[in-house]
Structure 1
Amino acid sequence: MQTAQNTREPDPVAPTPASELNTTPNLAAVPQQRLRIAMITETFPPEINGVAHTLHQMVKSMLERGHEVHLIRPRQGKADQGTLTPREGLHEQLTHGLPIPGYPGLHFGLPARGAIRKAWKDNPPDVVYVATEGLLGGSVLSAARSMGIPVISGFHTNFHRYSQYYGLGFMAPVISRFLRRFHHRTHCTLVPTDSLRDELQAQGFGTCRVLARGVDTRLFNPARRRTDLRAQWGLEENEPAVIYVGRLAAEKNLDLAVEAFRAMQARQPKARFILVGDGPAAAELREHHPDLILAGVHIGEDLAGYYASGDIFLFPSTSDTFGNVVLEAMASGLAVVSYDYAAGRQHLRHGESGMLARFDDAEHFKALAAELVAEPHTWKHLGIQARAEAETVDWRCEHDRLEALFLEYAQAK
């Protein structure tokens, strides 16, 4: 796919010198102070997706560290009165929104510049974090810039790549230009991997800095393996359970996941494929593949039990910016088959802690999956090594870095 030309957009934020782009903020050199942090997102729990989960972790962590958080998000229906328990330092502001086609119950935010400026008139934030690039995020970005408040953005979703899955591939250059201009107007853009940082900076997105993801290794743990669940799937202990967790939608490359499982099934007929999640592709999967186990949506300890009861995890996505589910599968002791991309590239070593196919090479992905399912010793070894790698990835360390970034930009204004 062609990307937009690397041109400078009007009215940019001054770029960070190259020597400072990839440095870790010096926590010792930054005086600790209580910040007022505004966080803007179109999605938040109880919605179930990687962006909502990541933002929830950020909000909780900043509150626990003593900072004030002003969470701004669209109201998800008339019954939505806020999802967070009221506590000191938290202000949750719900704005107007409209339903998102194809996503029942979800709304996108409408511009709210006037309401935001009013809310900030007497008590403006020290720094703003914009997680989503929609109308709401754009209006908050404009309001913050007009008030001289530093803005950090997050690149959480590859919208320009999603377009190809919905017959809108011709829109990719337009979407790319919009995203580039949006992020170029912020002081920096946070991305989850080194490779994505390099890609976006090469495309002219401005200053990008890496803020990786974490995983709760106490929740996602091999010890949560459930023999009763495996029995429901019709599996004995040494028969392979192949797991997928995520939205059941075209942009997740589910066709490849099913094709890979069929290749695995040819090598190991007793294998079962369990898909955890829901979405617009669920009905078609049930109709055309009645032998697959569509488990629906699960969260918390219940979800952790599904992960730990599996053996091999398939992550065929070529559109996710990261893939939190990969870390959750690793922490649960599963052998992961992924493209050499996003979370897989960042955290797995091919043949040592996972299997990494050449990016967007579907035949290679299927071949690796089929090879792995025939070798129980290998998939068990990879799962052990994946768990060990996941234990080195901690939300607390990443939120230390996030806090330092907030302090750095707040003090630079």
Structure 2
Amino acid sequence: MSTAPLLIALISETVLPVVNDLPQSLAHLCAGLSARGHQLQLVRPRQAEDQDRHSDERLLLTRGWMLPGLPGWQWGVSLQAKLQRHWRRKRPDVLYIATAGPLGLAALRAGRQLGIPVVSSLTEQVQALTHSHSLSPFYRLFDHYLRWFHNRSQLTLVPTSSQLQTLQRRGFEHLQLLTSGVDSQLFHPRQRDNALRTRWGLNDGDIAVLHRGRPNQLLARSWNALRNRYPQRRLKLLLLDDGPHDAAPGALVDSLQVEAADAASLATLMASTDLLLLAQPGAVADGMVLQALASGLGIVAFDQGAAAQHIRHGHNGALALPDDADSFATATTWLLEDPETLRRVRLNARQYAGRHSWSNISQHLEGYLCSACASPWPN
């Protein structure tokens, strides 16, 4: 490690499932920081399995409640004075606030009161939450609050350059880029399961096309274009989604609904397919794109968000013009035009993902935390 060890307080409250006390991405980041010699304090809401668990210097449990209509999201509650007492007993070098909810607000205020440097993060999922059916009537108010909140931290980390530019235009300050990472040993082409492909009715040389997200008319149009363009090839469409949709799976010829109960089964599923279509409007999650790249899939997505961040058209995937159905269908058929093209794109995809391991991302986060410790508070 090139820097002195830090005591880092991490404040998290929202996304489930929880793995080792943290949402998965934060768990990977913390494992990387710990491996680099840093100590962690965790502040999070109490979960169902925490009934007999007590807080200590490494873990502070707070009250929390689920957000109605938003399964998997939870907000925590803690008095600012409680956090101040906790941090006076064992003062962190820096706070990493991964939430702008009530718990994050209490941590921000306590940190500023005690003069502890603060780094916050703003994910695309939180941005999407402002447009959800539950909060859309309060969009302007929530957006104003997010801008006020993050402008009071010394740094705010965002996952894509397009999001960074959009937020800058909306008055967000002190922004830096921290992309997501991927477990490139779990998500790996060697997880390919030929027995699973046989159960799907596929033989060697057949193409399994995975769609991750809600089936829609854009998917149906692209899938039909693919089948019409290559009638001599055996194609199977795999639909990975458990939510409502506007294109019934039964209406998509040669399609099959599939499930992934956990990360390991998702890794096997992805490695056993050949092509991933991300045909939903709007930006897709950073981790989703990296998992597919690490699995060695050819990806077709719209040129926005995480896809634009990680995919170079014609090199490690194919990009379509945003909201352009014809462009998406063209990109899909191009990727299967020549078997050598798909093979080359898949190899480049895997090579790119290898540079985005969680250990590398944790090192970047370490640099931002150290920078905050060395910088004065903004006015």
Give me the TM-score of the superposition, normalised by structure 2. Answer: 0.85
The within-5 A match list for 1:164-313 is 164=131, 166=133, 171-245=138-212, 256-268=218-230, 270-276=234-240, 278=242, 280-281=243-244, 292-313=255-276
* Secondary structure, aligned partner of 1:392: helix
| Aligned position for 2:346 | 383
| Aligned CA distance change for structure 1 residues 73 and 377 (closer, same or farther; 3 Å) | same
In structure 2, C-alpha distance between the alignment counterparts of 1:263 and 1:110, rounded to whole Å: 51
In terms of mean alpha carbon deviation, does 299-308 or 156-165 score higher?
156-165
Q: Is the CA contact (8 Å cut-off) linking 2:284 and 2:307 kept in structure 1?
A: no
Alignment RMSD: 3.2
Q: Is the CA contact (8 Å cut-off) linking 2:187 and 2:271 kept in structure 1?
A: yes
Q: Deviation at 1:370?
A: 3.8
Spell out, residue by residue over 1:109-146, the C-alpha distance to the aligned partner (whole angstroms, 9 max, x if none).
23442332232121121111111222221221122112
| Aligned position for 1:114 | 81
Q: Is the CA contact (8 Å cut-off) linking 1:69 and 1:90 kept in structure 2?
A: no
| Aligned CA distance change for structure 1 residues 378 and 171 (closer, same or farther; 3 Å) | farther
| Aligned CA distance change for structure 1 residues 325 and 158 (closer, same or farther; 3 Å) | closer
Q: 5+ unaligned residues in a row in structure 2: which ranges?
A: none
In structure 1, C-alpha distance between the alignment counterparts of 2:220 and 2:43, rounded to whole Å: 38
Q: Is the CA contact (8 Å cut-off) linking 1:38 and 1:71 kept in structure 2?
A: yes
| Aligned CA distance change for structure 1 residues 262 and 101 (closer, same or farther; 3 Å) | farther
| Aligned CA distance change for structure 1 residues 95 and 139 (closer, same or farther; 3 Å) | same
| Aligned position for 2:114 | 147
In structure 2, C-alpha distance between the alignment counterparts of 1:106 and 1:44, rounded to whole Å: 5
| Aligned CA distance change for structure 1 residues 145 and 167 (closer, same or farther; 3 Å) | closer
The one-letter code sitting in structure 2 at the alignment partner of 1:97 is: G
In structure 2, C-alpha distance between the alignment counterparts of 1:165 and 1:290, rounded to whole Å: 32
Q: Deviation at 1:159?
A: 4.1
Spell out, residue by residue over 1:10-52, the C-alpha distance to the aligned partner (whole angstroms, 9 max, x if none).
xxxxxxxxxxxxxxxxx96xxx22211111112466349xx93
In structure 1, C-alpha distance between the alignment counterparts of 2:375 and 2:338, rounded to whole Å: 55
Aligned-pair identity (%): 32
Q: Is the CA contact (8 Å cut-off) linking 1:72 and 1:94 kept in structure 2?
A: yes
In structure 1, C-alpha distance between the alignment counterparts of 2:200 and 2:123, rounded to whole Å: 34
Q: Is the CA contact (8 Å cut-off) linking 2:156 and 2:174 kept in structure 1?
A: yes
Spell out, residue by residue over 1:152-190, the C-alpha distance to the aligned partner (whole angstroms, 9 max, x if none).
111113545455563865644333222211111111111
In structure 2, C-alpha distance between the alignment counterparts of 1:344 and 1:387, rounded to whole Å: 15
| Aligned CA distance change for structure 1 residues 124 and 340 (closer, same or farther; 3 Å) | same
* Secondary structure, aligned partner of 2:166: helix
Q: Deviation at 1:375?
A: 4.4
Identify which of 44, 61, 68 aligns with 2:39. 68
* Secondary structure, aligned partner of 1:71: strand
Please state if 1:323 is matched with 2:290: no
Identify which of 359, 372, 375 aligns with 1:409. 372
Q: 5+ unaligned residues in a row in structure 1: which ranges?
A: 1-26
